[in-house]
Structure 1
Amino acid sequence: MKTIQSGIIGELTQDKNFEHWWKSELIEIPLLNNKKVEIAFIDFIPEIDTDFIKEADEALKVFLEKSKYEKTLLTPLLFKHCMKYRNAIGSDQVNQNLWKIKDENKIWDFISGEHIIVTRSHGKKEMIYVNLNCECEWDKEHGLQILYKKGQKLTRISEQDGDISEVDFYKNTEKSKTFSINKQWWQFWK
């Protein structure tokens, strides 16, 4: 089994089923109250993308410095995301405890960080993104992803849809300029 070395998270081992995926041991994530999760570098071919590890390490260094302060910035956005989903779906299909939330800080009781993906976007600039994938009580089928460009700038809060950046989501840079992290997937059908 092949391995690669990250200066930030240590050794990553090539996945048995997906040759372009590399997985770390469990790593403490300050943003998740030091919960240990796996970090994966995906769509990465070491022989071709020789800058990936360096850029991923830079992004992870920034991302892993995020802690309680970042959590306070995320809280109202996550709460808003949940409430929009909850209101769009209706009371019979959503955990009833979500209807009782009055304090937006309680939203974290309904979110569980599962793993982190580090990958490149597929747009012209091919930026590195850190994708925090979570389970959430309001959308058990699609979950929740919190995306950071270069590990630093929050660019998207959405369901886990496999798209890394706005460009990937729209496959068109003109349309991506109108994308907002406040726009949710179910709003596109209205």
Structure 2
Amino acid sequence: MMKKLWASYYDAEFGQIRNESNHWTLEQYAVLGDHCVPICVDFEQGQIGELSSLQREAIRQALALPSDVLSITAPLVLQNYNVYREMIGDEEMPQLANPIQVWDEVTFSYIYVPPHVEYDLHIPTFKLIAECDWEKEHGLEVRFRSGVADDADQIGETGRV
């Protein structure tokens, strides 16, 4: 028996959610500065349409990010930039005088809302996934818990408490 492949799903709260390139992507976008960033979700336990209350809250928080989110988050991302700069000793990586300049080195990809059964069982969590000039191979992942950025690292490396 063949498994049915869904192309889209309608959610009463968030509208159309489409399956694009193996990601379930909301029709609505998060706004980061002057960038509109897609929001992608993995449904709980792989069940189409099964968003947990924590995932729903994480999506609401991503959609309601404050207009100054990039300024607020810049020091955390700059810390990752500086650690990487020192670690590889790259003299060509400029010393950034103002933390907000770190965003000039970043290209936003999407916001990812994971199944909360995998981790962070009690805290609404999402991750900003991006490409960054200082680590082209692994990119950048900024974790938001309860709507606040608390970790920035290379993709797959976050999760420290």
Aligned counterparts of 2:74 and 2:120: Cα–Cα separation in 1: 32
Query: Given the two structures, how large is their TM-score scaled by the length of structure 2?
Result: 0.77
Q: What is aligned with 1:173? A: none
List, as ranges, runs of 4+ consecutive aligned residues in structure 1 with deviation greater than 4 Å: none
The structure with the largest helix share of the pair is 1
Give the one of 143, 149, 152 matched to 2:139.
143
Amino acid at match of 2:152: I
Contact between 2:33 and 2:68, CA under 8 Å: does it hold in 1? no
**TM-superposed deviation, 1:127:** 4.8
Instruction: Note the residue ranges of structure 2 that are not aligned, 5 or more in a row.
Output: none
**TM-superposed deviation, 1:123:** 3.6
- What pairs up with 1:152-167 in 2 under 5 angstroms? 152-161=147-156, 165-166=159-160
Query: Given the two structures, how large is their TM-score scaled by the length of structure 1?
Result: 0.67
CA offsets 1:113-167 (integer angstroms, 9 cap, x no match): 11111112424826542111011111111110111124x1323211111x6644x
Q: What is aligned with 2:42? A: 42
Instruction: Indicate how the Cα distance of structure 1 residues 141 and 124 shifts in structure 2: closer, same or farther if over 3 A, else same.
Output: closer
**TM-superposed deviation, 1:78:** 1.2
CA offsets 1:66-119 (integer angstroms, 9 cap, x no match): 133322221111111101101111226xxx3x3242222211111111111111
Aligned counterparts of 2:67 and 2:120: Cα–Cα separation in 1: 34
State, as a whole percentage, how many aligned pairs show the same letter: 18
Q: What is aligned with 1:114? A: 109
Amino acid at match of 2:31: P
Instruction: Note the residue ranges of structure 1 that are not aligned, 5 or more in a row.
Output: 167-178, 180-190
- What pairs up with 1:49-88 in 2 under 5 angstroms? 50=50, 52=51, 54-88=53-87
What's the secondary structure of 1:115's corresponding residue?
Answer: strand
Higher relative contact order (CA 8 A, sep 6+): 2
Contact between 1:7 and 1:57, CA under 8 Å: does it hold in 2? no
What's the secondary structure of 1:29's corresponding residue?
Answer: strand
RMSD, aligned α-carbons:
2.8
Aligned counterparts of 1:124 and 1:144: Cα–Cα separation in 2: 20
Contact between 1:82 and 1:138, CA under 8 Å: does it hold in 2? yes
1:99 aligns with 2:98: no
Give the one of 12, 16, 19 matched to 2:17.
12
